[in-house]
Amino acid sequence: MTATGELTYRRVHRASRELLFDCMTTPDHLARFWGPTGTSTPVGNIVVDLRPGGAFETTMVSDADGSTYTMRAVYVEVQRPERLVWTEADVEGGMRTTITFVDLNDGRTEVITHQTKVPAPYLSDEAQAGFRTSLDRFDAYLAELQSTEQSR
């Protein structure tokens, strides 16, 4: 058995919990930011069955060589707009991701992504840096959404 660990990422966004939750659970939104820099996740490669026991699947495509990486998960908990929990059975040990959306009561929301049973390869500095680029892509997408809203 491979050693596992835990990871926690925190980001604060100037957006409502509802918008952030919807971005994380709607294929049209997810296709705009899901995956690290250098990948894309076409909307047709995303399955969201938003209920406990429902599937959450994404297939990222490498921009460099077209290779793919599929993430298959099952939702454990769905509480809009506070919390999402899923497990990835294909990942050794059944990695569990919990995303909590905390209203800071000033127009901002803190998004806390906590992962448990994280396999050793995902704990490397390189893997964590890749995950952070996905969070950066999410930041950029939210800024684009807000800019579009403000120009209406």
pLDDT tens per residue across span 120-145: 888 999 999 999 999 999 999 999 99
**Contact at 8 Å (CB) between 101 and 117?**
no
Residue carrying structure tokens 């950029």: 140
Report how far residue 152's alpha carbon sits from residue 82's, in angstroms, rounded to the nearest whole number: 28
For residue 2, the model assigns a pLDDT of 53
- Give just the sign of the alpha carbon dihedral 141, 14, 135, 77: negative
- pLDDT for 1 equals 42
**What mean pLDDT comes out for the span 75-102?**
94
On whether the CB atoms of residues 22 and 47 are closer than 8 A, the answer is: no
**Model confidence over 4-58: pLDDT tens digits?**
799 999 999 999 999 999 999 999 999 999 999 999 999 999 999 999 999 999 9
CA distance 39 to 20: 21
Half-sphere exposure for 22 (CA within 13 Å, toward CB): 9
Domain boundaries, the chain: 4-34+80-150
Nearest CA-CA partner of 20 in 108, 85, 114: 108
Global confidence as pTM: 0.91
pLDDT band (50, 70, 90) for residue 150: low
Helices (H), 26-124: 27-30
**Confidence category of residue 60, pLDDT binned at 50, 70, 90:** very high
pLDDT at 92: 75
Q: How far apart are CA 22 and CA 142, in angstroms?
A: 12
Report the CATH fold assignment for 4-34+80-150.
Answer: Alpha-D-Glucose-1,6-Bisphosphate; Chain A, domain 4 (3.30.530)
